Amino acid sequence: MHRYNTRFCLQHTANIAIHQHEQLYKDPLLDTFLQSHDIHPIADPTCFQSLSTNNITSLDIKDTLHYGEMLKDNDRQLFKKDMCCEVTDLLSTGIVTVVPCSEVPSWVTPLFAIWSFRRKRAPDWSILKHKARLCPHGGMQVEGVNYWHTYAPVVSWRTVRLSLILSLLSGLKSRQVDYVSAYTQAPLDCKLYMNIPPGFIVKNGTLEFTSASTRGNGTEYLLRLNKNVYGLKQAGNNWFTELRGFLLQLGFSQSSHDPCLFIRYDCLVIIYVDDCLFFAITDLILDTLINNLKAKFNLTSQGDVGAFLGIDIQRTSNGKLELVQTGLINKIISFAGLESESNEHKTPATTILHADSTGPPREHHWNYRAAIGMLNYLSTSTRPDIAFTVHQCARFSSAPRRLHETSVCCIVRYLKGTKTKGYILNPSSTRTLDCYVDADFAGLWSKEIASDTISVKS
């Protein structure tokens, strides 16, 4: 299904309206959306709410595709193959059941069936698998009728780093576990139905693949959802509640500082949706715990902690841990169009940034905010050495000029020369408190208005 997120459409259309309005109607999908929602880029003031200038770009959706994009993609056959595997798994495990429409109450509104496709990558950015996920359209759900609670926490990187440091100081053993189709392993809290997905028809009471461009006999049959599935508003909450309850039964206590950290006298558990890290004194404790979890959940043990949330965790020859994100750095370099450039910088910063409202405009067309988003994630996870410069660039995301664009390129050139470097964990067993002071004082005094509170930071 071709769908545009409304907020993106407003941003995208306003950028084009301001800078390249003549190109707007070259996109037939966008044209259809605007007409159906009665949005006029120039006349509608909503289009001008929160935009940066001169940063027109296409969506970076090369790895996450919707149904129409998959049909045009070069590796669509690999996605189609996984579509069949996905439907087979859903039926064989009883997650969904094919039912005639005559058995469904007349007051029930079935949810649309939506295909979501993604290339899953390793930290080095190599493709691990082509994943097809069949989801109900959660946007059709009604609060208080077929969903109630939606919040599900995710672990803080401070908690992950602290656990890794404790494992070094105390010599803890570690394990990494991935739950197979995690959300479907939690119970569903209400009755829901979904349409027959595109590309399949019902034959002899089961779903059969016909053509990825075909919509089957969805008016005669529906899919009854028997378990929690991806796409539902409450799916994340249901899964976390189920896993949390079982860990509490095994004697763990939930941390009051991070709800995704569970502590027992002999073990630590970190949860990030369907990925878990375990730390314990002995391998026997870890093996026993994982076997207990296997009795309840379908999971795969991936051995010692190696790659977590796109970060490669490497153990060095001298016993340290290094956290690197070479894949993300390569993606940032490609995003900024600097793959073929040989110029590399020794430091991430060039000069103290200021608004530069009268300076020259941007020259490149990559999305400034998207670049800042990737750099910000990189700085907070494995590269704190770029944190200050990224923060300075982020201050001007609403109206970036050539000065700010140049500073971002400087960061990228610095990363290009240090792409294999990362956060090194080498804790000391002695109890000391190290304090470092970054005193900027009047560093921005001559660059900005003196009465502005952001011009002087200490």
3-state secondary structure 237-299: HHHHHHHHHHHHHCCCEECCCCCCEEEECCEEEEEECCEEEEEECCHHHHHHHHHHHHCCCCE
**pLDDT one-digit tens code per residue, 225-281:** 999 999 999 999 999 999 999 999 999 999 999 999 999 999 999 999 989 999 999
Share of the chain above pLDDT 70, in %: 80
Instruction: Out of 13-17, 32-36, 325-329, give the one with best mean pLDDT.
Output: 325-329
Average model confidence (pLDDT) across the chain:
82
Residue 450 binned pLDDT confidence (cut-offs 50, 70, 90): low
pLDDT the model gives residue 36: 43
Q: Are 90 and 111 in contact (CB under 8 A)?
A: no
Contact 55, 368 (CB under 8 A): yes
* C-alpha distances in Å from residue 34, one per residue of 25, 48, 314, 428: 10, 15, 49, 59
Q: Is the pLDDT of residue 39 over 80?
A: no
Q: What is the pTM of this model?
A: 0.75
Give the model's confidence band at 3: pLDDT under 50 very low, under 70 low, under 90 confident, else very high: very low
Q: Is the pLDDT of residue 128 over 90?
A: no
> Residue 121: what pLDDT?
84
pLDDT band at residue 213 under the 50/70/90 scheme: low
- Per-residue model confidence (pLDDT) at position 10: 38
Residue found by looking up tokens 């959940």 in the block: 297
Instruction: Give the separation between CA 398 and CA 394, rounded to whole angstroms.
Output: 9
Q: Residue 445 contacts by C-beta under 8 Å, 6 or more apart in sequence?
A: 455, 456
Structural domain boundaries in the chain: 6-51, 65-307, 324-425
HSE-up of residue 86 (Cα within 13 Å, Cβ side): 23
Sorting pLDDT into bands at 50, 70 and 90, what band is 433? confident
Mean pLDDT of the region 447-455: 61
Q: Is the dihedral of CA 114, 119, 123, 128 positive or negative?
A: positive
pLDDT category of residue 25 using cuts at 50, 70 and 90: very low
CB atoms within 10 A of CB 283: 11
Q: In the predicted model, what is the mean pLDDT of residues 94-121?
A: 92
Task: Report residue 372 as tokens.
Answer: 């800042």
What is the distance between the alpha carbons of residues 393 and 356, in angstroms, rounded to a whole number?
A: 12
Question: How much is the pLDDT for 136?
Answer: 95
Closest CA to 140 of 105, 114, 106: 114
pLDDT, tens digit, for every residue of 360-401? Answer: 999 999 999 999 999 999 999 999 999 999 999 999 999 999
What's the average model confidence in pLDDT over 101-128? 88
Per-residue pLDDT at 210: 84
Confidence of residue 63 (pLDDT cuts 50, 70, 90): confident
Q: Which of 204, 209, 217 is nearest to 81 (CA)?
A: 209
pLDDT in tens, 148-203: 999 999 999 899 999 999 999 999 999 999 998 899 999 998 999 999 999 899 98
Confidence class for position 314, pLDDT limits 50, 70, 90: confident
Q: Mapping DSSP to helix (H, G, I), strand (E, B) and coil, where does residue 315 land?
A: strand
Is pLDDT at 76 greater than 70 in this prediction? Answer: yes
pLDDT given for residue 431 in this prediction: 81
**Residues 153, 122: Cα–Cα separation, whole Å:** 24
